[in-house]
């Protein structure tokens, strides 16, 4: 080989290596990716299953917490649905960190395919010890991988099951119309899943994707006046390979005619009332057929909500300066709805009200100077059925709209339309949040360059929150001093 050619190769080789490394870096995923496999009960790949990321949990270790919902664009990773390929695999990108430096360990997803029962499994996607783990923890992890011949972590496959058949039909000569579109609610099944049901003929609705076991079922129809008709809630026991048939009678939904008590002075402004109905005596944790509705409150304090099913009613109201008084509940940090029993006739109720509070926060930087453009926020929760907690007044939607108009219907939560529980500090560093129930005991502060110092809860969680005690009817004042962001990130170790 000529000396010149040898020199050219020696020069070109490192350049090619550098270019290859650069190409690998530029084309590599910017976030971790879990390869999740979906298969049937026989171990065969399921092609075309839709995997929808929904949330995640942290890695195990000295820091542990609950389930985190997948916020839109969480840590720069969208939760777009993906489909499995011919081998049953689908790549699911996820954020390396749940927040700050707390690493993701488990994904929560929903998996749907028209031939199988819907599933909502959790899968461990990252098993290596978190950054900063002691050498003993790392060596134990390596030894366990070698011993179990699992040097490369692979999530367990999602196994989909064939379903039982459920057929619901309108009883001949029923009060409701057989020609009206028929809908149904089944315990444990998302009502907005339009692919779950087929309609072979008027007055009949069928699914072949019902999980085996006990279920509570209710049929629903809407008449030409927009009123909702409900069947009774019945219990079935589904078995694979069998057809369960329910023949439904219907009753027109009942109405609530109500008013706020005189504690809230008139005229009422920005008033909302929200109703949630459970089947009588049901357990919320079993996801029974439930109904949700809301309406505005008139200036004179009156309101009407129509077309509700019979059952256990929970109701909450909120207007400028006042919130409904607490119903029965276990947790002092939660606000609870008032409770009533809905029968087959319309009811008239009066909602007890109490004053809310305001919170004024003086936000300062690390040197004690007023800090502008800091977002101060709280999250007062209302708890339904001693089970589901939502932002107070943020669940203003009518379930009837979701059935009539389909899953594309946008919810219209009140807090997205002007009323909220956050405020931005001005040039003086002051931020004022109004209309808070006195159950609020914590608040959060966000700023592009500064953050709250870390606190450690009694359960060992690390959070960036500040505490406050509110007195109703007053402006409650407090101050916080922030520190430079990323100076001491929250981590496992």
Q: At 454, which CATH number?
A: 2.60.40.10
Task: Give the integer Cα–Cα distance in Å for 198 and 435.
Answer: 46
The verdict on residue 299 lying in a domain is: yes
Highest mean pLDDT among 54-58, 78-82, 470-474: 470-474
Q: Is the pLDDT of residue 133 over 90?
A: no
Q: Is the pLDDT of residue 400 over 50?
A: yes
> Residues 200-214: what's their mean pLDDT?
95
Last residue of a domain, one of 159, 181, 199: 159
The model's confidence at residue 419, banded by pLDDT at 50, 70 and 90, is low
pLDDT of residue 194: 65
> Residues 93-112: what's their mean pLDDT?
93
In 3D space, the residue among 374, 291, 284, 389 whose CA is nearest the CA of residue 334 turns out to be 389
In this structure, of 93-97, 136-140, 299-303, 488-492, the range with the lowest mean pLDDT score is: 136-140
The verdict on residue 295 lying in a domain is: yes
Question: Which H, E and C letters describe the chain, residue by residue?
Answer: CCHHHHHHHHHHHHHHHHHHHHHHHHHCCCCCEEEEEEECCCCCECCCCEEEEEEEEECCCCCCCCCEECCCCHHHCCCCCEECCCCCEEEEECCCEEECEEEEEEEEEEEECCCCCCECCEEECCCCCCCCCCHHHHHHHHHHHHHCCCCCCCCCCEECCCCEEEEEEECCCCCCCCCCCCEEEECCCCCCCHHHCECCCCCEEEEEEECCEEEEEEEEEECCCCCEEECCCEEEEECCCCEEEEEECCEECEEEEEEECCCCCCCCCCCEEEEEEECCCCCHHHCCCCEEEEEECCCCCEEEEEEECCEEEEEEEEECCEEECCCCCCCCCCECCEEEEECCCCEEEEECEEECEEEEEEEECCCCCECCCCEEECCCEEEECCCEEEECCCCCCCHHHHHHHCCCCCCCCHHHHCCCCEEECCCCCEEEEEEECCCCCEEEEECCCEECCCEECCCCCEECCEECCCCCCCEEEEEEECEECCCCCCECC
On whether both 58 and 23 belong to a single domain, the answer is no
On whether both 482 and 401 belong to a single domain, the answer is no
pLDDT of residue 418: 41
Q: Is the pLDDT of residue 266 over 90?
A: yes
The model's confidence at residue 27, banded by pLDDT at 50, 70 and 90, is very low
Share of residues in the chain with pLDDT > 70 (%): 87
On whether both 202 and 236 belong to a single domain, the answer is yes
Each residue of 115-124: pLDDT tens digit?
Answer: 999 999 999 9
Task: Give the integer Cα–Cα distance in Å for 129 and 142.
Answer: 10
On whether both 281 and 385 belong to a single domain, the answer is yes
Last residue of a domain, one of 229, 252, 275: 252
Last residue of a domain, one of 138, 159, 180: 159
On whether both 347 and 271 belong to a single domain, the answer is yes
On whether both 400 and 265 belong to a single domain, the answer is yes
pTM above 0.75, yes or no: yes
Which residues lie closer than 8 Å to 177 by C-beta, 6 or more apart?
A: 170, 221, 223
Higher pLDDT, 464 or 414: 464
Task: Give the integer Cα–Cα distance in Å for 121 and 98.
Answer: 18
> Residues 438-444: what's their mean pLDDT?
97
The verdict on residue 318 lying in a domain is: yes
Q: Are 287 and 322 within 8 A, CB to CB?
A: no
Q: 424: burial class by Cβ within 10 Å (0-12, 13-18, 19+)? A: middle
Higher pLDDT, 37 or 16: 37
The model's confidence at residue 14, banded by pLDDT at 50, 70 and 90, is low
> Residues 34-51: what's their mean pLDDT?
96
Q: What is the mean pLDDT of the chain?
A: 88
On whether both 43 and 88 belong to a single domain, the answer is yes
- Neighbouring CB atoms inside 10 A of 76's CB total 9
Higher pLDDT, 406 or 482: 482
On whether both 210 and 293 belong to a single domain, the answer is no
Full residue range of the structural domain in which residue 5 is found: 1-29
On whether both 65 and 93 belong to a single domain, the answer is yes
The verdict on residue 416 lying in a domain is: no
Q: At 183, which CATH number?
A: 2.60.40
pLDDT of residue 28: 42
How many distinct structural domains can be found in the chain?
A: 5
Task: Give the integer Cα–Cα distance in Å for 10 and 12.
Answer: 6
Q: At 273, which CATH number?
A: 2.60.40.1120
On whether both 258 and 404 belong to a single domain, the answer is yes
On whether both 371 and 438 belong to a single domain, the answer is yes
Task: Give the integer Cα–Cα distance in Å for 365 and 176.
Answer: 64
Q: Is the pLDDT of residue 22 over 70?
A: no
The verdict on residue 339 lying in a domain is: yes
pLDDT of residue 411: 46
The 8 Å CB, 24+ separation contacts for 446-450 are 446/374, 446/375, 446/377, 447/363, 447/371, 447/373, 447/374, 447/375, 447/482, 447/485, 448/373, 448/485, 449/484, 449/485, 450/365, 450/366, 450/371, 450/374, 450/482, 450/483, 450/484, 450/485
The verdict on residue 239 lying in a domain is: yes
> Residues 375-386: what's their mean pLDDT?
96
The verdict on residue 336 lying in a domain is: yes
On whether both 73 and 181 belong to a single domain, the answer is no
Task: Give the integer Cα–Cα distance in Å for 382 and 292.
Answer: 14
Q: Strands 251-252 and 228-230: what pairing?
A: antiparallel
In this structure, of 272-276, 428-432, 458-462, the range with the lowest mean pLDDT score is: 458-462
Q: Are 414 and 393 within 8 A, CB to CB?
A: yes
In 3D space, the residue among 109, 132, 106, 129 whose CA is nearest the CA of residue 119 turns out to be 109
The verdict on residue 194 lying in a domain is: yes
The model's confidence at residue 21, banded by pLDDT at 50, 70 and 90, is very low
Higher pLDDT, 177 or 49: 49
- Tokens 């299953």 identify what position? 49
> Residues 86-95: what's their mean pLDDT?
94
């Amino acid at each position: 080989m000529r000396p010149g050619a040898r020199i050219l190769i020696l020069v070109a080789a490192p350049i090619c290596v550098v270019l290859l490394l650069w190409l690998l870096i530029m084309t590599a995923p910017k976030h971790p990716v879990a390869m999740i496999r979906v298969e049937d009960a026989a171990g065969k790949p399921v092609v075309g299953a839709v995997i929808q990321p929904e949330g995640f949990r942290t890695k195990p270790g000295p820091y542990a917490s609950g389930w985190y919902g997948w916020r839109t664009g969480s840590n720069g990773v969208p939760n777009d649905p993906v489909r499995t390929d011919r081998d049953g695999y689908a790549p699911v990108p996820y954020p390396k960190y749940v927040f700050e430096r707390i690493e993701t360990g488990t994904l929560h997803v929903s998996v749907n395919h028209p031939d199988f029962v819907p599933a909502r499994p959790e899968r461990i996607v990252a098993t290596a010890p978190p950054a900063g783990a002691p050498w003993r923890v790392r060596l134990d992890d390596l030894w366990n991988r070698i011993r179990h011949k699992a040097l490369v972590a692979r999530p367990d496959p999602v196994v989909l099951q064939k379903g039982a058949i459920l057929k619901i039909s309108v009883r001949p000569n029923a009060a409701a119309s057989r020609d009206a579109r028929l809908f149904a609610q089944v315990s444990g099944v998302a009502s907005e899943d339009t692919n779950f049901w087929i309609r072979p003929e008027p007055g009949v609705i069928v699914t072949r994707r019902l999980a085996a076991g006990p279920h509570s079922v209710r049929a629903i129809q809407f008449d030409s006046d927009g009123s909702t008709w409900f069947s009774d809630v019945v219990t079935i026991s589904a078995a694979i390979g069998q057809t369960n048939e329910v023949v439904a009678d219907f009753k027109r939904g009942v109405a609530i005619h109500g008013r706020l008590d005189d504690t809230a002075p008139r005229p009422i402004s920005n008033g909302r009332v929200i109703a949630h109905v459970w089947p009588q005596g049901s357990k919320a944790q079993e996801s029974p057929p439930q109904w949700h509705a809301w309406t505005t409150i008139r200036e004179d304090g009156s309101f009407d909500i129509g077309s509700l099913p019979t059952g256990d009613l929970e109701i909450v109201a909120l207007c400028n300066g006042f919130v409904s008084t607490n119903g029965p509940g276990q947790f002092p940090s939660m606000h609870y709805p008032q409770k009533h029993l809905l029968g087959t006739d319309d009811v008239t109720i009066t909602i007890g009200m109490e004053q809310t509070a305001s919170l004024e926060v003086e936000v300062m930087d690390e040197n004690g100077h007023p800090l502008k453009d800091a977002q101060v926020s709280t999250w007062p929760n209302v708890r339904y059925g001693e089970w589901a907690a939502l932002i107070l007044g943020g669940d203003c939607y009518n379930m009837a709209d979701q059935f009539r108009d389909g899953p594309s219907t946008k919810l219209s939560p009140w807090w997205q339309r002007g009323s909220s529980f956050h405020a931005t500090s001005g040039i003086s560093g002051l931020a004022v949040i109004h209309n808070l129930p006195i159950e609020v005991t914590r608040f959060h502060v966000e700023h592009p360059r500064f953050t709250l110092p870390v606190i450690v809860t009694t359960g060992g969680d690390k959070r960036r929150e500040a505490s406050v005690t509110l007195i109703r009817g007053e402006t409650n004042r407090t101050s916080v001093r922030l520190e430079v962001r990323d100076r001491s990130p929250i981590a496992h170790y």
